[in-house]
């Protein structure tokens, strides 16, 4: 049975399979919104009906990308908006060229495994898409939203966008200001953005690193995280930096740590507080000459082909980005000339624009290397450059966000009279999905209740967001465990540090994987040690196989909820056996001395994935997988004594 729609509506909804919260529909729209070229495409829609009355307005939720489908996140949008949707319908749709709305595909990209597709693949993909590639820009999505509004019979819309979705929302508001009731902009891209060289992201690096160290969080690690990073990048740019990495199978290899890898780690930190904190410690270690922690961290960052598993439609990404962005070149120029013009433009900005990175790093991060080879189609008419309407607006910004930093939020706020910027502490990109303090959700409720929006207050830094202790160069350099002395006391403390390191690596493996659903469906999770060996987490416990965090000391054996048998060895340590005693304490002898130590080391709450990290790692649509990740976090708590 079709569900009723608002008066004047021509969109007919039917029950969706697998959910009682949303109804499903489709809407045919013109391929070319100007009407100059024929053809249509079908948009896939979901609607969550207002609980109170017959809605005359609707919230339209817009995903990021460009190229990210929105339908998989429909339930999460409804949960995040909460009571705001009580008197308004919630509309979620896959933007044209993504998901169920005619996802684009290119044969040329099928076997590409590089961060940036090679020039021939970019040119071939554009040719395979044909002249229709001109109609997948942001302006076309704006026209689709207006078509949905008209067909569904709504008087006004609330635009809720995240990341690239904010750009779509802003351009709709510019084009149809009288149809906008309110704006919710989360992690904003300014109108006309993104800027070709991502200068706002580079400008945010030092500030974000200092933010990580507030409230003395880096007291025993570093006093100058930005300076540490600058010294590391100076080494990389000056002659190279290399470190040895141990695989989950225990095999060691030497890798080059490149500026692009460090930059990727910083940006991945937008979604992983533990990764961001670990980067501070790893950079400090590298600044002091120990490159292994940074090499291991960089090696964990997913490759580009793994990132594609997150659901970004890559052909759509380039069809939109290459046509929409304002690049520093003439579109009529050849690819080689475009690249030369871009390099010249980057150099003209000066070294300070990208410090502690450089212009070459900025070019590699950008879309310039790919889009220089994109044969531009006749563009969709540019979006309105008119003013943004003075409607109720809240702009959410994560204090740690480097992709769309707070400077972007303030820029957009200056363009919307009466808008409110809410900066959320200890949160990176995509605030509503990552802020478990409830501050952002309260701000939304206040906006629609016409109440004052209260600022977020920084609570004490959670242990899992504090940079971990620096990796010791040897057992003899470690202060003995309290109450003990000599090498046995130092070895006991090294055991705690090793268990803490294992927990962090397990959590980071979950948080940084591009496919945590598949990872958590496996019977075990393996990680390599910093210096040697490997360890495995299973339903039965944690097993160590020559796992080494401190040079000269290894841990082997098993740690379970009900028992433990750990063998401590290595030339630089006091050998011995530890077993599980009461209250999650490890007891035994090291170098002939009886010892008793906590199995949790640095209190593994700094390690365990927790709900926030688990939800991010899985993506908002993984409810069943999220439950499994909470189970995994529980295992870590039990086995590591958190």
Q: Are 428 and 401 in contact (CB under 8 A)?
A: yes
CB 125 within 8 A of CB 117: yes
Cis bond upstream, residue 194 (ω within 30): yes
In angstroms, how far is the first alpha carbon of the chain from the final one? Answer: 52
405 lies in some domain: yes
**Would the CA dihedral through 358, 362, 365, 371 be positive or negative?**
negative
CATH code for the domain in which residue 391 is found: 3.40.50.1820
pLDDT of residue 383: 60
Mean pLDDT, to the nearest integer, of 184-210? 95
How large is the average pLDDT for residues 452-471?
91
Q: What is the spatial distance between Cα 453 and Cα 457, in angstroms, rounded to a whole number?
A: 12
* Listed range (615-619, 632-636, 637-641) with the worst mean pLDDT: 615-619
- Has residue 1 been placed in a domain? no
Q: Which residues, in sequence order, are CB contacts of 312 under 8 Å at separation 6+? A: 65, 67, 68
How far is it, in rounded angstroms, from Cα 462 to Cα 635? 20
Higher pLDDT, 236 or 537: 236
Please give the average per-residue pLDDT across 610-627, as a whole number.
Answer: 36
- Are both 512 and 580 inside the same structural domain? yes
Cut 0.85: pTM above it: yes
pLDDT the model gives residue 560? 84
Instruction: Answer yes or no: is pLDDT of 639 > 80.
Output: no
**Both 129 and 248 in a single domain?**
no
Residue 632 in this model has a pLDDT that exceeds 70: no
Q: Are residues 357 and 396 in the same domain?
A: no
Q: Do 540 and 602 share a domain, yes or no?
A: yes
Segment 421-435 shows an average pLDDT of: 93
Residue 624 scores a pLDDT above 50: no
Read off the pLDDT of residues 356-411 as tens digits, 9 standing for 90 and up.
999 999 999 999 999 999 998 865 656 667 899 999 999 999 999 999 999 999 99
pLDDT of residue 111: 76
State yes or no: cis peptide before 356, omega within 30 of 0: yes
- Minimum mean pLDDT among 33-47, 221-235, 484-498, 512-526: which range? 512-526
Contact 608, 507 (CB under 8 A): yes
Q: Would you state the structure tokens that stand for residue 239, as one six-digit string?
A: 């002659």
Q: Taking the CB of residue 602, how many other CB atoms lie within 10 A of it?
A: 22
Residue 378 confidence (pLDDT): 64
Closest CA to 287 of 221, 352, 351: 221
| pLDDT tops 70 at residue 167 | yes
Asked whether 402 and 270 are in contact (CB, 8 A), the reply is yes
Is the pLDDT score of 116 beyond 60?
A: yes
Task: Residue 236: give the domain boundaries.
Answer: 199-301+328-366
Residue 511 has pLDDT above 90, yes or no: no
Query: Given pLDDT bands bounded at 50, 70 and 90, which one contains residue 82?
Result: confident
pLDDT for position 606: 33
Query: What three-state secondary structure class fits 110?
Result: coil
**Rounded mean pLDDT of 338-349?**
97
The pLDDT confidence band at residue 617, using thresholds 50, 70 and 90, is very low
Three-class DSSP labels, 570-619:
CCCCCCEEEEECHHHEEEEEECCEEEEEECCCCCHHHCCCHHHHHHHHHC
Q: 217-221, 486-490, 510-514: which has the minimum mean pLDDT? A: 510-514
Of the CA atoms within 13 Å of residue 274, those in its CB half-sphere come to 28
H-assigned helices in 176-272: 199-212, 225-238, 259-268
Same-domain status, 161 and 215 = no
Q: Model confidence at 563, in pLDDT bands (50, 70, 90)?
A: confident
At CA 445, angle to CA 440 and CA 629, rounded to 5?
Answer: 45
The answer to whether 496 touches 597, Cβ cutoff 8 Å, is yes
Q: Is residue 373 part of a domain?
A: no
Task: Clarify whether residues 491 and 603 are in a common domain.
Answer: yes
Q: Are residues 385 and 350 part of one domain?
A: no
Would you say how long the chain is, in residues? Answer: 642
Selection from 143, 127, 134 nearest residue 95 by Cα: 143
What rounded mean pLDDT belongs to the chain?
A: 87
**Do 215 and 98 reside in the same domain of the chain?**
no
Are 104 and 225 found together in one domain?
A: no
524 and 492: one domain? yes
CA distance 572 to 73: 52
pLDDT tens profile 317-331? 999 999 999 999 999
The number of domains in the chain is 3
Is the per-residue pLDDT at 6 higher than 60? no
pLDDT attached to residue 303: 59
Span 246-294, pLDDT tens digits: 999 999 999 999 999 999 999 999 988 889 999 999 999 999 999 999 9
* DSSP, residue by residue, 68-121: --SGGGHHHHHHHHGGGGGSSEEEEEPPTTSTTTT----GGGTT--SSS--HHH
In a domain, 255, yes or no: yes
Dihedral sign of CA atoms 269, 76, 72, 394 in order = negative
Query: Which of these ranges, 52-56, 186-190, 508-512, 629-633, has the smallest mean pLDDT?
Result: 629-633
Predicted pLDDT at 562: 82
Q: Quick one: pLDDT band at residue 93, thresholds 50, 70, 90?
A: very high
Does residue 536 belong to any structural domain of this protein? yes
Same domain, 28 and 164: yes
Per-residue pLDDT, 375? 94
pLDDT at 433: 87
Our measurement of the distance from residue 63's CA atom to the centroid of its chain's CA atoms, rounded to an integer in Å, reads 14
27 and 107 share one domain: yes
Tokens of 547: 């796992």
Predicted confidence (pLDDT) at residue 470 exceeds the cutoff of 60: yes
């Amino acid at each position: 049975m079709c569900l009723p729609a608002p008066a004047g509506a021509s969109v007919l909804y039917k029950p969706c399979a697998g959910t009682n919260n949303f109804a499903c529909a489709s809407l045919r729209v013109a391929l070319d919104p100007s009407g100059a070229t024929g053809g249509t495409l079908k948009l896939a829609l979901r609607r969550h009906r207002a609980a109170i009355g017959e809605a005359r307005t609707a919230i339209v939720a817009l995903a990021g990308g460009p190229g990210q489908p929105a339908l998989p996140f429909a339930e999460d949008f409804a949960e995040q908006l909460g009571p705001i949707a009580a008197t308004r319908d919630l509309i979620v749709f896959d933007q044209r060229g993504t998901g169920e709305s005619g996802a684009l595909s290119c044969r040329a990209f099928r076997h590409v495994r590089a961060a940036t597709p090679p020039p021939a693949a970019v040119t071939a993909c554009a040719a395979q898409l044909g002249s229709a590639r001109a109609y997948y820009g942001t302006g076309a999505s704006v026209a689709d939203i207006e078509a949905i509004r008209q067909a569904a019979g709504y008087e006004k819309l609330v635009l809720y966008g995240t990341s690239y979705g904010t750009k779509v929302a802003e351009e709709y508001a510019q084009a149809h200001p009288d149809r906008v009731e309110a704006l919710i902009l989360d992690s904003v891209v300014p109108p006309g953005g993104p800027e070709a060289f991502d200068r706002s992201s580079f400008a945010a690096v030092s500030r974000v690193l200092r933010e990580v160290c507030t409230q003395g969080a880096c007291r025993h690690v570093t006093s100058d995280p930005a300076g540490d990073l600058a010294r590391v990048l100076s080494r990389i740019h000056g002659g190279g930096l290399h470190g040895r990495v141990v695989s989950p199978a225990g095999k060691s290899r030497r890798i080059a740590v490149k500026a692009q890898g460090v930059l990727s780690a910083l940006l991945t930190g937008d979604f992983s507080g533990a990764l961001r904190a670990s980067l501070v410690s790893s950079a400090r270690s590298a600044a002091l000459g120990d490159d292994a922690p940074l090499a291991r961290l960089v090696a964990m960052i997913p490759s580009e082909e793994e990132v594609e598993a997150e659901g970004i439609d890559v052909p759509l990404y380039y069809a939109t980005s290459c046509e929409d962005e304002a690049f520093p070149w003439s579109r009529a120029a050849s690819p080689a000339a475009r690249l030369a013009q871009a390099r010249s433009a980057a150099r003209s900005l000066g070294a300070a624009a990208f410090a502690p990175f450089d212009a070459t790093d900025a070019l590699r991060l950008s879309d310039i290397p790919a889009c220089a080879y994109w044969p531009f189609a006749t563009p969709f008419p540019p979006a309105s450059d008119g003013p943004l309407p003075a409607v109720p607006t809240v702009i959410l910004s994560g204090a740690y966000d480097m992709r769309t930093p707070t400077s972007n939020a303030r820029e957009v706020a200056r363009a919307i009279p009466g808008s409110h910027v809410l900066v959320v502490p200890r949160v990176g990109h995509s605030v509503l999905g990552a802020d478990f303090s409830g501050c952002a959700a309260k701000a939304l409720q206040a906006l629609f209740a016409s109440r004052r929006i209260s600022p977020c207050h920084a609570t004490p830094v959670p242990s899992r967001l504090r940079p971990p202790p620096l990796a010791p160069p040897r057992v003899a350099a470690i202060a003995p465990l309290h109450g003990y002395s000599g090498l046995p006391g130092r070895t006991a403390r090294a055991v705690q540090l090793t268990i803490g390191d294992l927990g962090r690596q397990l959590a980071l493996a979950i948080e940084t994987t591009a496919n945590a659903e598949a990872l958590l469906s496996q019977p075990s999770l393996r990680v390599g040690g910093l210096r040697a060996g490997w360890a495995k987490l299973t339903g039965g416990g944690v097993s160590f196989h020559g796992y080494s965090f401190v040079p000269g000391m290894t841990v082997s054996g098993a740690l379970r909820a009900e028992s433990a048998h750990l063998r401590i060895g290595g030339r630089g340590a006091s050998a011995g056996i530890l077993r599980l005693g009461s209250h999650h304490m490890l007891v035994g002898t090291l170098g002939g001395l009886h010892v008793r130590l906590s199995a949790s080391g640095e209190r593994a709450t700094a390690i365990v994935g927790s709900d926030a990290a688990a939800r991010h790692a899985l993506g908002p649509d993984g409810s069943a997988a999220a439950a499994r990740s909470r189970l995994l976090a529980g295992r870590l708590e039990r086995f590591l004594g958190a």
